[in-house]
Each structure stands twice: as C-alpha cells, then as structure tokens.
C-alpha cells in the first residue's frame, strides 16, 4: 500500500479588517455648511472608523489601564482626526488618523495614569526599561536582568536605567494600609512609619514674632521676663534678685505681657506665656 503524501499546507493571508471608504464623505463634509445634514454625516464617518480606533486602544491593553478608558481616549482622538482632516491637503484618512489617535493615547498614559507625577523624560526611561525587562526575562529563564544588561539593551547609561527602574515603582502608589513587607509578621503597615505632628514647630514661629516686641521693652522689664520665663524663677525670687517688691514685680510682668500682646498678632500671642518653655 503506497504511503499517502502529507497534505500541503497553504498559507492564507491573515485577515485584515476592511477599511471603510469614506473619501466621498470627507469631500462632502468639507463642502457642507454647519447644520443637521453635516452633523449626521460626521457621525456616520466617526462610526465607520471607530473599530480602527478601538483596535489601536486594544494594542495597549497590557499596560495596566482599563480597556474601556483606552477605547474612550482612542474615540476622542478619532473625533479630533475627523474634524482636522482636510481631503484636499492630506492623503488617506487612516494615515492621518493613526498618529492622531496614538498621540492621544500616549498623552493619556503620560498625564492621567501615573499616581505619582514624574517628568516626561523619566516616563520615557521607564517605558524603555520596562520593555527591555520583558524582552530579556524571556531569555533568562525568568531571572531579572542586571542593570548592565538593561543598559546594553536600551543603549542607556546605567544611571538612566536605575532611574527607569525606580519609575517602575511610581506608576501605582501603595495604600498606607499596605504591609511593610513579606517579613512584617506584626502586621505593620506604611502608616506606622509616618511621624506625628511636632507641636514645637508652631511655637518657634510664635517666638520669632514676639522677639521684636520684647526688644522694645525697657531693660528692667526684659530682665524680669527673662528671669520668670527662661530661668523659671518665682515672683518672690525675682523681687529678691531685683530689689523690688513681689507685688511690683507682678505688676511689671502683667504690664509687659499686655504690651507685647498689643503689638503681635493674635496667632503669636500664645507664645507669650510659653517664652521660657
């Protein structure tokens, strides 16, 4: 029995979506005045090319952004391309529309998808490094490529590669409730590393506001306030130190504080009672 020859495989060309023929529509759009007829024709042209815009959005579906959002951005780019296209000056509409839609998608990724704002150059470094990491990981059995390999692949300096790697971590921000790491057995989270509000900072500003008013006091009153608030002496001890009566010292302190309060802002007056603390 003779062996049967293997069937020859025929290579069929890949199916390509048909391009809508809107040449006549664009020429008519350029001639029609504003009105219901032009609005309807414009909607028809946009609907005819909308699948092409969605295909461009679908190519970027693996970048972590919601596909529906990308389709909307691509549709917006298509509308801009339809409104800007001049059939007398440009060639085929698709050639004009693809860069417009792609540019709108890139702008969306650059301006709207980063949780942490980074410069445009850093975003570009991030994209180059990200692509290189994906390509090299397939040849390294899943191992992470070294900085030197990434620099060779991207033709960037190692400092730029490190900057791009840092930017990979800036695309999405972590919640403050995120654990500190896999070894955080006590359940510690990022918010546990945040410092508290230091009440002394506000007092520094208030003291600076009080200084000019203190400097305008007579020397005796300044000395009495210094002994009371900086040396923490009692009024009786100050009286013995200055040769005045305790009642006189008390009147001088009250009068000096009232004078200072009248000269400084209400926000800084709270420091008057805490000058020596």
Map out the domains of the chain as residue ranges. Answer: 23-112, 120-175, 200-274
Place of tokens 């994209």: 127
Query: What phi, psi does 253 have (nearest 5°)?
Result: -65, -45
Q: What is the pLDDT of residues 39-61, one digit of tens each?
A: 999 999 999 999 999 999 998 87
- Mean pLDDT (the chain) is 79
- H helices within the chain, ranges in order? 23-31, 36-58, 67-84, 93-112, 120-137, 147-154, 158-168, 200-215, 219-225, 235-242, 246-263
Rg for the chain, CA atoms, rounded: 37
Q: How much is the pLDDT for 266?
A: 58
pTM score of the predicted model: 0.43
Q: Check residues 255 and 127 and name the one with the higher pLDDT.
A: 255
Residues 122 and 166: their CA atoms lie apart, in Å, by 9
CATH number 1.10.10.10 given to 200-274: yes
Cβ–Cβ under 8 Å, residues 210 and 275: yes
Q: Do the domains 23-112 and 120-175 sit in the same CATH topology, yes or no?
A: no
Q: How much is the pLDDT for 100?
A: 92
**Domain 120-175, CATH class in plain words:** mainly alpha
Q: Check residues 116 and 103 and name the one with the higher pLDDT.
A: 103
24-28, 145-149, 232-236, 264-268: least confident range: 264-268
**Domain 23-112, CATH class in plain words:** mainly alpha
């Amino acid at each position: 029995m003779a062996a049967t020859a293997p069937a020859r495989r025929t290579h069929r060309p890949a199916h390509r979506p048909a391009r809508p023929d809107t040449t006549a529509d664009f020429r008519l759009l350029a001639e029609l005045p504003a009105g219901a007829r032009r609005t309807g024709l414009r909607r028809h042209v946009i609907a005819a090319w909308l699948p092409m815009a969605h295909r461009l959005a679908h190519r970027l579906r693996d970048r972590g952004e919601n596909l529906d959002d990308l389709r909307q951005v691509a549709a917006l780019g298509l509308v801009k391309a339809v409104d800007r296209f001049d059939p007398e000056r440009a060639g085929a509409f698709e050639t004009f529309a693809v860069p417009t839609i792609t540019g709108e998608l890139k702008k969306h990724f650059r301006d709207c998808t980063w949780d942490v704002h980074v410069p445009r150059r850093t975003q570009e470094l991030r994209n180059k490094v990200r692509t290189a990491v994906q390509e090299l990981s397939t040849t390294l059995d899943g191992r992470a490529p070294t900085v030197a390999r990434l620099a060779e692949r991207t033709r960037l300096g190692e400092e730029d590669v490190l900057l791009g790697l840092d930017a990979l971590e800036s695309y999405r921000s972590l919640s403050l409730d995120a654990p500190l790491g896999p070894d955080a057995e006590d359940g510690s989270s990022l918010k546990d590393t945040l410092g508290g509000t230091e009440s002394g900072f506000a007092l520094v500003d208030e003291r600076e506001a009080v200084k000019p008013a203190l400097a305008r006091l007579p020397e005796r009153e300044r000395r009495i306030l210094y002994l009371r608030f900086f040396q923490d002496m009692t009024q009786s001890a100050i009286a013995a130190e200055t040769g005045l009566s305790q009642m006189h010292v008390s009147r001088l302190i009250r009068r000096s504080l009232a004078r200072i309060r009248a000269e400084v802002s209400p926000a800084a007056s709270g420091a008057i009672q805490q000058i020596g603390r």
